[in-house]
């Protein structure tokens, strides 16, 4: 009944979702610990009216107009999606036939592997260096039909300099380069300015992280007009609800609220990085709303299970390159204090002299 490739492929595995009666500290899905702008709640309430019987605007005109104003990019160069995940799916669908190549550094966002499997594409994995430096030269030589850089990268939180992305875009002229900037609002730079010089570039953004709208599913693609026109051919007819579009437009109109929350997250992130290093963890410098904590040559699965028993969820990836690591989303100061109080004794019990006593 289903394609053989679908039967064989592994689905994307999201982070654990607590049950309705579980009271857990949730630091595993990179969600924002702070609420969205009050304007969002008002806009959603106003949108819940008799007009819900009508289909939404197929091109999300008002939402895109807000994005164009905020990011200073023409509306014809913007496409709205049901989260940036839908935009990624459109890109895979529009560019890759069976056997075509898609390339990206690893470890990275595992949905890329799932989307490639759906298209029966051939994946070229390029391992990051130990410090998560992107292999720009190797990716450029590969000249895959589609190349993706998650920047800042997940799960490492590390940032590839925008000047390096410009070099890669030149090397890949005539091939599509996607910069997945889901976490870029927590970073010091972004790639939007490269669009004017690189027709082969697509920059993806989401409102799930910095704008605190993970439950609303809103994403944006910025690209040359010809790329947007191609993606429109594979877009679902009415892919965003009236409720989501109203909330998204309201969120973008209050970017000051978002920036205040981002600064709170960054302040907490800096404190947690220091505390984790004092425990003996290696922590790559993060420019996202999460931290990757590594204990080299030690499997952290039991530590993450211990945190789970204590009511704290973090993300553990059971792949060889990440068995010595866990990804920790940045929560409120109180949530992070609870994490650190619990983690210190767990690490000392598990590894003893392999770690230093926490401060």
d(CA 110, CA 159): 18
Q: Taking the complete model, does pTM exceed 0.75, yes or no? A: yes
On average, the pLDDT of the chain sits at: 96
CA distances to 98, 168, 318, 320, 327 from 10, rounded to whole Å, are 17, 30, 14, 17, 22
Query: Which residues are CB-contacts of 214 (< 8 A; sequence separation ≥ 6)?
Result: 29, 31, 32, 208
Contact 303, 350 (CB under 8 A): yes
Reply yes or no on whether the pLDDT at 285 is more than 60: yes
- Residue among 312, 321, 357 nearest 339 (CA): 312
The span from the CA of 217 to the CA of 181, in Å, is: 15
Query: Which tokens belong to 6?
Result: 């679908």
Region for residue 311 given its phi and psi (left: phi exceeds 0; alpha: psi -120 to 50; beta: otherwise)? left
Above 50 in pLDDT, residue 358? no
Strand ranges (E), the chain: 25-26, 78-81, 101-106, 122-127, 146-150, 176-180, 201-206, 219-223, 290-294, 312-313, 325-329
The b/e string for 220-245 (b: 16+ C-beta within 10 A; e otherwise) is bbbbbeebbebbeeebeeebbbbbbb
Geometric angle at alpha carbon 31, from 28 and 34, rounded to 5°: 130
Stretch 277-294: mean pLDDT? 97
pLDDT of residue 352: 77
Which residue, among 215, 216, 169, 158, has the nearest Cα to 192 in the 3D structure?
Answer: 169
> For position 357, what pLDDT does the model report?
45
321-337 pLDDT per residue, tens: 999 999 999 999 999 99
Binning the chain into helix, strand and coil, the percentages to the nearest 5 are: 45, 15, 40
Per the CB < 8 A criterion, the answer to whether 289 and 30 are in contact is yes
Q: What is the pLDDT of residues 177-193, one digit of tens each?
A: 999 999 999 999 999 99
Structure confidence by residue, pLDDT tens digits, 211-266: 999 999 999 999 999 999 999 999 999 999 999 999 999 999 999 999 999 999 99
Residue 314 backbone phi and psi in degrees, to 5: -125, 175
The rounded distance, in Å, linking the Cα atoms of 281 and 70 is 39
pLDDT at 359: 41
98: its two tokens: 């069976």
pLDDT above 90 covers what percent of the chain? 90
- DSSP at 346: H
**Residue percentage of the chain with pLDDT more than 70:** 98
Domains of the chain plus CATH, in order, are: 4-34+256-352 (3.90.1150.10), 38-254 (3.40.640.10)
Confidence of residue 103 (pLDDT cuts 50, 70, 90): very high
How many helices and strands in the chain, by DSSP H and E?
A: 12, 11
| Mean pLDDT of the region 285-293 | 98
pLDDT value at 353 more than 70: no
């Amino acid at each position: 009944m289903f394609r053989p490739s679908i039967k064989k492929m592994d689905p994307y595995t999201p982070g654990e979702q607590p049950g309705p009666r579980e009271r857990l500290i949730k630091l595993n899905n990179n969600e924002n610990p702070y609420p969205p702008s009050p304007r969002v709640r008002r806009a959603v309430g106003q949108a819940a009216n008799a007009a819900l019987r009508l289909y939404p605007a197929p091109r999300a005109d008002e939402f895109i107009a807000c994005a164009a104003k905020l990011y200073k990019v023409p509306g014809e160069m913007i496409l709205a999606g049901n989260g940036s995940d839908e935009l990624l799916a459109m890109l895979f669908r529009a560019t890759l036939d069976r056997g075509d190549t898609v390339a990206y550094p690893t470890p990275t966002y595992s949905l890329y592997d799932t989307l490639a499997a759906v298209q029966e594409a051939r994946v070229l994995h390029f391992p990051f260096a130990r410090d998560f430096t992107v292999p720009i030269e190797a990716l450029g030589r590969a000249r895959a039909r589609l190349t993706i850089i998650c920047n800042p990268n997940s799960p490492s939180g590390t940032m590839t300099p925008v000047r390096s992305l410009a070099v890669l875009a030149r090397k890949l002229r005539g091939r599509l380069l996607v910069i997945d900037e889901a976490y870029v609002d927590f970073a010091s730079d972004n790639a939007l300015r490269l669009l004017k010089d690189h027709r082969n570039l697509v920059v993806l953004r989401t409102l799930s992280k910095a704008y605190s709208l993970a439950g609303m599913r809103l994403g944006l693609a910025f690209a040359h007009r010809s790329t947007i026109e191609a993606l429109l051919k594979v877009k679902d007819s009415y892919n965003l609800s009236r409720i989501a579009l109203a909330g998204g437009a309201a969120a973008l109109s209050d970017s000051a609220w978002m920036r205040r929350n981002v600064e709170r997250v960054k302040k907490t992130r800096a404190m947690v990085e220091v505390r984790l290093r004092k425990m003996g963890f290696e922590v790559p410098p993060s420019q996202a709303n999460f931290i990757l904590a590594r204990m080299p040559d030690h499997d952290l699965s039991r530590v993450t299970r211990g945190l789970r028993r204590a009511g704290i969820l973090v993300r553990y990836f059971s792949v060889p390159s990440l068995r010595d690591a866990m990804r920790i989303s940045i929560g409120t100061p109180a949530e992070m204090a609870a994490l650190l109080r619990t983690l210190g004794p767990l690490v000392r019990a598990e590894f003893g002299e392999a770690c230093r006593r926490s401060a």
